[in-house]
Amino acid sequence: LVGPPFRRPLVQRVCLGWLSVPCPVIAAISGRCFGAGMQLALGCDLRFAAPSAQLGLLEAAWGLVPDMGAFYTLPPLMRRDAALELVWAADAIPAQRALEVGLVTRVEPDPLAAADAWAHHIAATRSPDAAPLR
């Protein structure tokens, strides 16, 4: 990312905006999560995916780079070689493989219900300030 935040393109500000939200941000992923959708999810603190979900950064298939923030959000989640493989291959991977490489936090039968339950659990019993990881 080049330059101060106000000089970043709008799409980067949107995808990376989750990082500055002062509370936990949880993504629920079902179906296909590619390109921009994947980069939005990568900015979240937790990502719950359905077993049937497919994830990927497919931009390289069209000669593009995932420039909406993935190069900033991938390194803390994945080993460098796995991230490069994901970007260069431009293939969809199943949710279980995404869990293995660090793209998702958990694979859940109903990711929206799991995300909602986890958010309620955090709100009811924990202080998000107790673990400032950002």
> pLDDT digit string (tens) for 98-117?
999 999 999 999 999 999 99
Could you tell me if 92 and 32 are in contact, meaning their C-beta atoms sit under 8 angstroms apart? yes
Check whether 58 has a pLDDT greater than 80: yes
Task: Quote the distance between the C-alpha of residue 43 and its chain's center.
Answer: 5
Distances (CA, A) of 35 to 3, 6, 54, 133: 23, 23, 11, 26
Q: Are 15 and 37 in contact (CB under 8 A)?
A: no
pLDDT (mean) for 10-35: 87
The pLDDT of residue 133: 54
pTM of the model: 0.85
